[in-house]
Amino acid sequence: MRNGDGRARILVINPNATVAVTEAIDEALDPLRFADGPMLDCVTLPEGPPGIECQRHVDDVSAPLCALIAREGNKAAAFVVACFGDPGLQAAREVTAKPVIGIAEAAYASALQQGERFGVIAILENSVRRQRRYVRQLGLDARYADSLAVGLGVTALEGEAVTHRLIETGRRLIEDHGADVLIMGCTGMARHRLALRQALGVPVVDPSQAGAAQAIAAVSIG
Amino acid sequence: MRNGDGRARILVINPNATVAVTEAIDEALDPLRFADGPMLDCVTLPEGPPGIECQRHVDDVSAPLCALIAREGNKAAAFVVACFGDPGLQAAREVTAKPVIGIAEAAYASALQQGERFGVIAILENSVRRQRRYVRQLGLDARYADSLAVGLGVTALEGEAVTHRLIETGRRLIEDHGADVLIMGCTGMARHRLALRQALGVPVVDPSQAGAAQAIAAVSIG
Amino acid sequence: MRNGDGRARILVINPNATVAVTEAIDEALDPLRFADGPMLDCVTLPEGPPGIECQRHVDDVSAPLCALIAREGNKAAAFVVACFGDPGLQAAREVTAKPVIGIAEAAYASALQQGERFGVIAILENSVRRQRRYVRQLGLDARYADSLAVGLGVTALEGEAVTHRLIETGRRLIEDHGADVLIMGCTGMARHRLALRQALGVPVVDPSQAGAAQAIAAVSIG
Amino acid sequence: MRNGDGRARILVINPNATVAVTEAIDEALDPLRFADGPMLDCVTLPEGPPGIECQRHVDDVSAPLCALIAREGNKAAAFVVACFGDPGLQAAREVTAKPVIGIAEAAYASALQQGERFGVIAILENSVRRQRRYVRQLGLDARYADSLAVGLGVTALEGEAVTHRLIETGRRLIEDHGADVLIMGCTGMARHRLALRQALGVPVVDPSQAGAAQAIAAVSIG
Amino acid sequence: MRNGDGRARILVINPNATVAVTEAIDEALDPLRFADGPMLDCVTLPEGPPGIECQRHVDDVSAPLCALIAREGNKAAAFVVACFGDPGLQAAREVTAKPVIGIAEAAYASALQQGERFGVIAILENSVRRQRRYVRQLGLDARYADSLAVGLGVTALEGEAVTHRLIETGRRLIEDHGADVLIMGCTGMARHRLALRQALGVPVVDPSQAGAAQAIAAVSIG
Amino acid sequence: MRNGDGRARILVINPNATVAVTEAIDEALDPLRFADGPMLDCVTLPEGPPGIECQRHVDDVSAPLCALIAREGNKAAAFVVACFGDPGLQAAREVTAKPVIGIAEAAYASALQQGERFGVIAILENSVRRQRRYVRQLGLDARYADSLAVGLGVTALEGEAVTHRLIETGRRLIEDHGADVLIMGCTGMARHRLALRQALGVPVVDPSQAGAAQAIAAVSIG
pLDDT, tens digit, 9 for 90 and up, residues F55-109 = 999 999 999 999 999 999 899 999 999 999 999 999 999 999 999 999 999 999 9
pLDDT, one tens digit per residue, over D134-153 is 999 999 999 999 999 999 99
How far, in Å, CA of F167 to CA of F170, rounded? 5
Residue A115 distance to chain C (closest CA, Å): 22
Are the C-beta atoms of residues A88 and A15 closer than 8 Å to each other?
yes
Query: Mutating which of F116, F118, F177 best tests the B interface, going by the most B Cβ atoms within 10 A?
Result: F116
Interchain proximity C142–A146, CB inside 8 Å: no
Are the C-beta atoms of residues F179 and F118 closer than 8 Å to each other?
yes
Which chain E residues have a beta carbon less than 8 Å from that of A142? Answer: 136, 141
Which chain E residues have a beta carbon less than 8 Å from that of F54? Answer: 91, 94
Confidence at residue F6, expressed as pLDDT on a 0 to 100 scale: 82
Chain A contact present for C180, CB below 8 A: yes
Contacts of C176 (CB under 8 A, 6+ apart): none
Interchain proximity A132–C116, CB inside 8 Å: yes
Q: What is the DSSP letter of B41?
A: E
Chain E contact present for F71, CB below 8 A: no
Residue B6 distance to chain C (closest CA, Å): 13
In sequence order, what E strands does chain E have?
Answer: 9-14, 39-44, 78-81, 100-102, 118-122, 144-149, 181-184, 204-205
pLDDT, one tens digit per residue, over A179-192 is 999 999 999 999 99
Confidence at residue D165, expressed as pLDDT on a 0 to 100 scale: 97
Which chain A residues have a beta carbon less than 8 Å from that of F37? Answer: 34, 37
Query: Mutating which of C55, C132, C141, C177 best tests the E interface, going by the most E Cβ atoms within 10 A?
Result: C132
pLDDT band at D2 (very low <50, low <70, confident <90, very high): low
Comparing CB atoms, the residue among D31, D138, D209 nearest residue E112 is D138
Chain B contact present for F201, CB below 8 A: no
More confident residue, C188 or C1: C188
How far, in Å, CA of A139 to CA of A142, rounded? 8
Chain E contact present for F96, CB below 8 A: no
How far, in Å, CA of E94 to CA of E83, rounded? 19
Confidence at residue E6, expressed as pLDDT on a 0 to 100 scale: 82
Q: Is D3 left (phi over 0), alpha (psi -120 to 50) or beta?
A: beta
pLDDT for A5 beyond 80: no
How far, in Å, CA of E187 to CA of E126, rounded? 17
Confidence at residue D4, expressed as pLDDT on a 0 to 100 scale: 59
How far, in Å, CA of F23 to CA of F26, rounded? 5
SS3 content of chain D, % helix, strand, coil (to 5): 55, 15, 30
pLDDT, one tens digit per residue, over D112-123 is 999 999 999 999
In sequence order, what E strands does A126-194 have?
Answer: 144-149, 181-184
Confidence at residue B6, expressed as pLDDT on a 0 to 100 scale: 82
Q: What's the maximum distance between 2 C-alpha atoms anywhere in chain D? A: 52
Three-state secondary-structure class, residue E182: strand
Which chain F residues have a beta carbon less than 8 Å from that of D178? Answer: 146
Q: What burial class does residue B123 get, using C-beta atoms within 10 Å of its C-beta: 0-12 exposed, 13-18 middle, 19+ buried?
A: buried
Confidence at residue E181, expressed as pLDDT on a 0 to 100 scale: 98
Confidence at residue B2, expressed as pLDDT on a 0 to 100 scale: 54
Comparing CB atoms, the residue among F32, F37, F138 nearest residue A112 is F138
Confidence at residue D6, expressed as pLDDT on a 0 to 100 scale: 82
Interchain proximity A91–B54, CB inside 8 Å: yes
The torsion angle over the Cα atoms of residues A112, A115, A117 and A122, rounded to 10 degrees, is -80
pLDDT for B3 beyond 70: no
Average pLDDT of adjacent 10-residue blocks, chain E of 222 residues: 75 96 97 97 96 95 97 96 98 96 98 97 95 98 97 92 97 96 96 97 98 98 93
Confidence at residue E4, expressed as pLDDT on a 0 to 100 scale: 59
Q: Across all residues in chain D, what is the average pLDDT?
A: 96
Query: Mutating which of B53, B56, B83, B129 best tests the A interface, going by the most A Cβ atoms within 10 A?
Result: B56
pLDDT in tens, chain F (222 residues): 555 578 999 999 999 999 999 999 999 999 999 999 999 999 999 999 999 999 999 999 999 999 999 999 899 999 999 999 999 999 999 999 999 999 999 999 999 999 999 999 999 999 999 999 999 999 999 999 999 999 999 989 999 999 999 999 999 999 999 999 999 999 999 999 999 999 999 999 999 999 999 999 999 999
Are the C-beta atoms of residues B75 and B1 closer than 8 Å to each other?
yes
Which chain E residues have a beta carbon less than 8 Å from that of F139? Answer: 136, 141
pLDDT for D34 beyond 90: yes
Confidence at residue C4, expressed as pLDDT on a 0 to 100 scale: 59
Interchain proximity A109–F105, CB inside 8 Å: no
Interchain proximity C35–B34, CB inside 8 Å: yes
pLDDT, one tens digit per residue, over D55-106 is 999 999 999 999 999 999 899 999 999 999 999 999 999 999 999 999 999 9
pLDDT for B1 beyond 70: no
Q: What is the DSSP letter of F188?
A: G
Are the C-beta atoms of residues A208 and A190 closer than 8 Å to each other?
yes
Three-state secondary-structure class, residue C83: coil
Contacts of C60 (CB under 8 A, 6+ apart): C49, D62, D63
A touches which chains (3+ CB pairs under 8 A)?
A: B, C, E, F
pLDDT, one tens digit per residue, over D35-52 is 999 999 999 999 999 999
Are the C-beta atoms of residues F53 and F21 closer than 8 Å to each other?
no
Confidence at residue B190, expressed as pLDDT on a 0 to 100 scale: 92
Q: Which of residues 115-144 of D touch E (CB under 8 A)?
A: 138-143
pLDDT for D180 beyond 90: yes
Q: Across all residues in chain B, what is the average pLDDT?
A: 96
3-state secondary structure A46-111: CCCCCCCCCHHHHHHCHHHHHHHHHHHHHHCCEEEECCCCCCCHHHHHHHCCCCEEEHHHHHHHHH
How far, in Å, CA of B61 to CA of B58, rounded? 6
Comparing CB atoms, the residue among B32, B113, B214 nearest residue C220 is B32
For F175, other C-beta atoms within 10 Å of its C-beta total: 9
Are the C-beta atoms of residues E192 and E158 closer than 8 Å to each other?
no
Q: Across all residues in chain A, what is the average pLDDT?
A: 96
Query: Mutating which of D114, D116, D118 best tests the F interface, going by the most F Cβ atoms within 10 A?
Result: D116
Contacts of C144 (CB under 8 A, 6+ apart): C117, C118, C119, C135
Q: What's the maximum distance between 2 C-alpha atoms anywhere in chain E? A: 52
How far, in Å, CA of A35 to CA of C213, rounded? 65
State ipTM. Answer: 0.96
pLDDT for A8 beyond 80: yes
Helices E207-221 and E103-112 sit at what angle, rounded to 10 degrees?
A: 90
Chain E contact present for A180, CB below 8 A: yes
How far, in Å, CA of F193 to CA of F182, rounded? 10
Residue of F nearest to B125 (CA): F178
How far, in Å, CA of B185 to CA of B169, rounded? 12
How far, in Å, CA of D102 to CA of D81, rounded? 5
Which chain F residues have a beta carbon less than 8 Å from that of E91? Answer: 54-56, 58-59
For C31, other C-beta atoms within 10 Å of its C-beta total: 15
pLDDT band at A2 (very low <50, low <70, confident <90, very high): low
